[in-house]
Amino acid sequence: MNKNCLLCGVGGQGVVLASRLIAFAAMEKGYFVRTTETIGMAQRGGSVVSHVRIGDEVYSPQIPEGTADVILAFEPGEAVRCLPYLKKGGMVIADRKIVKPVTASLGGDAYRAEDMISWLEKKTGKLLVVDGDELCRKAGSPKVLNVVLLGAASQTGVLGITPDEMLDAVRKNVKEKYIELNERALMLGREAGGM
Amino acid sequence: MSEKRILAMGNEAIALGAVRAGVRMAAGYPGTPSTEILETIAKHNDGHFHVEWSVNEKAAMEVGAGAAYAGARTIVTMKQVGLNVASDPLMSLAYMGVKGGMVIVSADDPGPISSQTEQDTRTFGQFSKLPVFDPSSPEEAYVMIGEAFEFSEKYQTPVLFRPTTRVCHSCASIELLPDMEVAEPEGFIKDTMRWVIFPRTSYLNHVKIEKRNAELSETLSDYERNFVLPGSGKKGVVTAGISYAYTREVLPEGVPLLKISTPHPFPERLAKEFMEEMDEVLVLEELDPMIERELLRVAGKYHLPVQICGKLTGHTKNAGENSSESIRKDLEGFLGADVFTAESAGGKTEAADAQSAAPEKADAAADNGEQPALPVRPPVLCAGCPHRASFYAVKKAMKGKKAVFCGDIGCYTLGNAKPLDMVDTCLCMGAGVTIAQGLQAVEPDSVNFAFIGDSTFFASGITGVVNAVYNKNDIVLVVLDNSTTAMTGHQPHPGTGKTIMGEVAAKISIRRILEGIGVEQIYEVDPLILPDAVKAVQEAAAGTGVRAVIFKSPCIAVTKPQNTYTVNQDACRKCKVCVRELGCPAIVTEGDTVKIDETLCYGCGVCSYVCPFQAIGEVKENE
């Protein structure tokens, strides 16, 4: 198996942890894994891109443009920003809710989720938009967006990691007291992914 | 899956490799992208060795030198600009040599992504005459660092180890290896000729080093990490570091490749033999055209009829970092675009299609239109960051007055961003304090502020304050004391009362240091209590000589959030003063409405002082 999974979002959304969970699950299956992040100088609120590359014939830690099997976007504008990475026929899974940058508040720029989603619809053959806000509310915490999205992604099969394998990775990596919450989040994500 | 297989970040791999190599001393100063090396060593310290965050890189280098004199395997870690700070001891140490293996990790930052310069530690290796190891991946770094220790011990010289950001901060599956056999340190053996630097010994050492490096060049031509991947044809590629990884990702089959893992001393024979078979070589490297220059030297020395292409010839870009994409372009220019067939790695051809022709739907939407504008997400101070309050207090206090605001290295450089716009200069660690003095000498009618963080103050700010007091300079020193080294990920420092090992240490008081130097007018205030903060700055600004304001408030990342704040929509007149003045990420606008995002708010409360209509208040727990 050779898989390139690109995760993107905004600092503080749990993008990096999600990439670690995918990497963990892939390593459990015996695959060689490379990951890296491109994070700006911002501690919080900046664009975060996490690259997960699974398979042996892989040298660069960053996914070369045009070769990502899937873009898992925690924010629709960040999905648009990362589209050049997507390979022909690749899939985009994106959360619906936008995160406004401070500059938008200052300048009053119009930045709207609908524009991003419709652009993604226009540009990708396979698009799954997830209502992460609603699913997080159902799960019981705004902090499980990452696991919701992993649930959706594993359900579509695009990661090469099954929902059960993802569940196992979640169980082995989150603190005991948060396991139940994350299991709920994963299940809600799976439903969104077409279970 | 092997039990001993882990996913390790490059910096963790370097640390684990050093622990495996029997390191007994580890010292460094935080700096992106090197910081996690020392943190990981500390995590794996079973009490067998000494690990410390030194006060700066020079101190780390000297502490390390002492340990290596006594025969202990020693690692010293820093970022590339830290090597400048440590260069005084390093240049001399290169002449003196060591007994225990000593590896100096200096992490370079092509881009640069979070540095002031794009300097190249490999060039520093040439300048200091020290051997340099240049890993191209985390898994290679893990093994190479052990080899660097052995090499250092064998030749009794410190060696430089130079990873770059994409090696330091990427992760890879790594097979853990058994520990290396290392003898116990012998201890320090007195020997004037060996450990006391004098002009005469330096001359003799210089002769010795030049002879040794010539021999090492020969030895390193056989080092297994300097190697040729054979191919056919008369066009070859020479590469190193992370550029090797990008090159392997996209290089068409059959193109000969030379990988250089020890750029200094340069493996001359290996390079000569490679170039003898070539008409043209393309050098793919980041930062300085270091390998390219070496190849030119070798080709000149042996009169090789080979064209060497790279930065110096304009075939590759001479600044910024490489990527699979940029190297693919470089290779297209060198080999001809037709070498990249559809099935070749990297898939740029597909990439180009993905945008225009990807989905069938795209055709349906006859007009693809313009991509909607994407939000810019520049680095900003976090919501609740006490630096915002400190900068705002000074801004308020100095409104309408002539003042210059000298900044320094740390999160607070971000005070430069609008709307605060409170950093007028930033050069290097500790420079704000002294630049303010130079400005003052030329423009005495301006109030010159020097902002400096607590960790930076200890690292290199103190001498600047001594200079100001001694030379009767007239500045306002503003110490932004947030009780941590925030920008590099919250390391302890001499003011925090904690060591890297989590032990309690003496808490060194910045106030008492300033008093000891002779600063008489010192204010210590919480910047989150804005009126007090403004008043302190006004009084300091009105004084003469060296005055200091210590703004004490911990970084939000090391404290629990307080009660959040909220906008009372009935009282809010939608003037947006809070948005315009503070630029806090938690204050958001929705149309005309101003709201505070409770998931971002840390409860610093500064906005409640700024609102002219008292419309912002604390959310009480039980409400």
User: In this predicted model, what pLDDT tens digit does every residue of B567-587 receive, in sequence order?
Assistant: 999 999 999 999 999 999 899
What Cα–Cα distance (Å) separates residue A188 from each residue in A148, A169, A195, B523?
A: 6, 17, 9, 54
B117 in contact with A, Cβ within 8 Å: no
pLDDT exceeds 60 at position A108: no
For B203, half-sphere exposure in the C-beta direction (CA atoms, 13 angstrom radius) is 2
B250 and B154 in a common domain: no
A32 in contact with B, Cβ within 8 Å: yes
pLDDT at position B531: 97
Residue B552 lies in a domain: yes
Residue B580 lies in a domain: yes
B545 and B409 in a common domain: yes
Integer distance in angstroms from the first to the last C-alpha of chain A? 24
Q: Which residues 203-262 in chain B show a CB within 8 A of chain A? A: 242, 244-246, 248-250
B411 and B328 in a common domain: no
B357 in contact with A, Cβ within 8 Å: yes
Contact B486 A88 (CB under 8 A): no
Most A CBs within 10 A among B36, B377, B482, hence the mutation to make, goes to B377
B410 and B520 in a common domain: yes
Residues of B with Cβ-Cβ distance to A59 under 8 angstroms: 137, 244-246, 248-249
Mean pLDDT of B190-198: 94
pLDDT exceeds 60 at position B548: yes
Angle at B67 between CA B63 and CA B70, to 5 degrees: 145
B89 and B67 in a common domain: yes
* A3-192: in CATH 3.40.50.10490: no
Decide if B113 contacts B140 (C-beta within 8 A): no
Mean pLDDT of B552-561: 90
pLDDT at position B331: 97
Type of residue at B414: L
Residue B269, Cβ density class (10 Å: 0-12 exposed, 13-18 middle, ≥19 buried): middle
Where do the domains of chain A lie?
3-192
Q: What total number of domains does chain B contain? A: 4
Share of chain B above pLDDT 70, in %: 95
Look at A38-52, A112-126, B491-505 and tell me which has the smallest mean pLDDT.
A38-52
Peptide bond between residue B265 and the one before it cis (omega within 30 degrees of 0): yes
Residue B456 lies in a domain: yes
Residue B287 lies in a domain: yes
pLDDT digit string, tens, across residues B216-269 = 999 999 999 999 999 999 999 999 999 999 999 999 999 999 999 999 999 999
Residues counted in chain B: 623
CA dihedral B526, B528, B534, B540 (to 10 degrees): 30
Residues of A with Cβ-Cβ distance to B350 under 8 angstroms: 66-67, 87-88
Residues of B with Cβ-Cβ distance to A84 under 8 angstroms: 351, 354-355
Instruction: Give the global pTM.
Output: 0.94
B70 and B13 in a common domain: yes
Which domain CATH number covers B547? 3.40.50.970
Maximum CA extent, chain A: 49
pLDDT digit string, tens, across residues B168-184 = 999 999 999 999 999 99
B573 and B545 in a common domain: no
Most B CBs within 10 A among A31, A65, A109, hence the mutation to make, goes to A65
The rounded distance, in Å, linking the Cα atoms of A122 and A135 is 25
**Cβ contacts from A onto B, under 8 A:** 191
What Cα–Cα distance (Å) separates residue B350 from each residue in A87, A124, B346?
A: 7, 14, 9
pLDDT at position B621: 64
B425 and B309 in a common domain: no
Mean pLDDT of B200-206: 95
> Which of A64, A100, A108 minimises the CB distance to B324?
A64
The rounded distance, in Å, linking the Cα atoms of B404 and B422 is 9
Residue B533 lies in a domain: yes
What Cα–Cα distance (Å) separates residue A139 from each residue in A131, A165, A173?
A: 12, 20, 18
Residues of B with Cβ-Cβ distance to A23 under 8 angstroms: 7, 171
The rounded distance, in Å, linking the Cα atoms of B623 and B617 is 12
Residues of B with Cβ-Cβ distance to A27 under 8 angstroms: 1, 5, 7, 173
Residue B364 lies in a domain: no
Which domain CATH number covers B236? 3.40.50.920
B573 and B462 in a common domain: no
- Domain containing residue B277: 227-351
pLDDT at position B94: 98
pLDDT at position A66: 96
Residue B590 lies in a domain: yes
B532 and B451 in a common domain: yes
The rounded distance, in Å, linking the Cα atoms of B397 and B416 is 17
The rounded distance, in Å, linking the Cα atoms of B19 and B95 is 27
pLDDT at position A42: 53
B294 and B155 in a common domain: no
Quickly list DSSP for B138-162.
Answer: HHHHHHHHHHHHHHHHHHTS-EEE-
Residue B360 lies in a domain: no
Question: Please, what is the average pLDDT of chain B?
Answer: 93
B553 and B569 in a common domain: no
pLDDT exceeds 70 at position B349: no
